Structure 1
Amino acid sequence: MSEHRTERKTERKTVLVTGANKGIGYEIAAGLGALGWSVGVGARDAERRETAVAKLRAAGVDAFGVPLDVTDDASVTAAAGLIEDRAGRLDVLVNNAGVTGSAPQMPTTVDVATVRTAVETNVIGVIRVTNAMLPLLRRSPSPRIVNVSSSVGSLTLQTTPGAETGPIAVAYSPSKTFLNAVTVQYAKELQDTDILINAACPGYCATDLNGFQGHRTPEQGATVAIRLATLPDDGPTGGFFDEDGVVPW
């Protein structure tokens, strides 16, 4: 092993951002890359992934592509192997990849396959990737996991009269509620470790998931995930946050 590669494996922080080829995921990758971190751009689409990597590199980021389909066991296992070979450990995992599912999503008429698809990506995919990356995260002195959620998954807000929680969406919104609950369960199991895991709400950002209708930019949406990825060792775990603070469960 070369001296340069030994330095990379022991000193440079490495982050994997899933769904990082565009939108909020890309901006999270860019923001952490600007801190001098090595950034794994996780994405299914090879062309979009490599375009994102090239753009990040042009901006001075140490970026590398990670072929990754969060719904596929073999793909996730291969991604973990790629990161181990390249960096030797993982300091931060940002579970950003997500889908809204096809519309309409009225509970009484929804195609159950739509619900299944949302849960497979937004929940099971997070569990699959997190568990595959945990051995690498445990090698980091300050490991962090950030699950990109949404305020539409807040049961408190969903049941508060007048609260703005978007349209009825029996696939997408409950999948984020499920993700929030999963985040809490991980925090409880990992409470005696150095791993801090939290859920982040980026707000209503203009991305292709909502037809670019959001009033916030992806860069604005990335700020809370970046903050949670860089928490100090005495930072919170098992919480749900947006840029203004705590989001009610």
Structure 2
Amino acid sequence: MAAADRLAVVTGAGRGFGRAVAEALTDQGRRVVACVRTRPATGKAGLQVVVQDVRDPVGTELLAAIGDRPVDALINNAGVGAKATPPAGVDPRQILDALDVNMAGTLRLTQALLPALTAAPDPVIVNVSSRLGSLTAQAEGEFATRRTSYAYRISKAAQNMLTITLAQESAGRVHCWAVHPGSLTTAMGATDATTPAGEAALRLVDLLNSPDPASPRFVSLDGPDLRW
């Protein structure tokens, strides 16, 4: 299928990695609907921007932008982090807020767009995750010295479980991938991050152009696949 015949929906596309992905897909010739929380004053030609907060039910603006077209790729990128604190300082409400965005937000978009996804010949759901959501790596102490918030780790682990569950339920009809974009030099990135968002976005585009039949899959854009 030609790039111009493919439609992608990208959440959290107002800045950082989400914006870079939306623009990279547009540059490739794909049709892209970019979901943002606040409409920008200017936009990139060929990129259709809609206001859609993933905390809210999917609205008519996004559904109207898609219309009756199949959606070939849903990039669930919208996410939030939180400051790292010792256990005594963890606010459960912060964890619930992170779950609402990072996991439930992913589910809201997937539920609303599933009919459009299953109408495409080879659809894929990309849930932008983190290596910090790996239960295996965390249990083995791989990140024991890294100060990362409870809210972020818990919500990304929950998102990974959602990815696995969606893949099993779809039985191969829709590819479902959790994707660790790498250590990005964005507002949410670590202080020692080295990978520009634009570079990681191009890697994701290459991945979408060379789909792997494996589903579920935990992909790292800067190395081998990760362990769940």
- State TM-score, norm by structure 1: 0.82
Matched, 1:32 2:25: yes
Other-structure match for 1:78: 60
2: CA distance, partners of 1:143 / 1:164: 36
Secondary structure of the residue aligned to 1:125 is helix
1:90, distance to aligned residue in structure 2 (A): 1.2
3, 7, 16: which one pairs with 1:14? 7
2: CA distance, partners of 1:212 / 1:40: 31
1:204, distance to aligned residue in structure 2 (A): 1.3
Contact 1:198–1:228 (Cα < 8 Å) also in 2: no
Unaligned runs of 5+ in 1: 1-10
Structure 1 residues 219, 212: CA separation in 2 closer, same or farther (over 3 Å shift)? farther
Opposite residue 80 of structure 2, the aligned amino acid is V
Contact 1:206–1:215 (Cα < 8 Å) also in 2: yes
27, 34, 37: which one pairs with 1:41? 34
2: CA distance, partners of 1:186 / 1:218: 27
Matched, 1:134 2:114: yes
1: CA distance, partners of 2:200 / 2:138: 21
Secondary structure of the residue aligned to 1:184 is helix
Unaligned runs of 5+ in 2: none
Other-structure match for 2:225: 246
Structure 1 residues 202, 192: CA separation in 2 closer, same or farther (over 3 Å shift)? closer
Opposite residue 45 of structure 1, the aligned amino acid is T
1:131, distance to aligned residue in structure 2 (A): 0.5
Secondary structure of the residue aligned to 1:200 is strand
> Rg larger in 1 or in 2?
1
192, 200, 214: which one pairs with 1:236? 214
Deviation beyond 6 Å, 4+ runs, structure 1: none
Other-structure match for 2:127: 147
What are the equivalent positions in structure 2 for 1:202-217 lying under 5 Å apart?
202-210=181-189, 214-217=193-196
Structure 1 residues 163, 71: CA separation in 2 closer, same or farther (over 3 Å shift)? closer
What are the equivalent positions in structure 2 for 1:48-67 lying under 5 Å apart?
50-51=41-42, 54=43, 56-57=44-45, 62-67=46-51
Other-structure match for 1:221: 200
Structure 1 residues 165, 123: CA separation in 2 closer, same or farther (over 3 Å shift)? farther
2: CA distance, partners of 1:16 / 1:92: 6
Contact 2:12–2:77 (Cα < 8 Å) also in 1: yes
2: CA distance, partners of 1:190 / 1:79: 27
1:107, distance to aligned residue in structure 2 (A): 2.6
Identity %: 30
Moved more, 118-127 or 151-160: 151-160
2: CA distance, partners of 1:189 / 1:78: 27
What are the equivalent positions in structure 2 for 1:86-235 lying under 5 Å apart?
88-101=69-82, 103-163=83-143, 166-193=146-173, 195-210=174-189, 214-232=193-211, 235=213
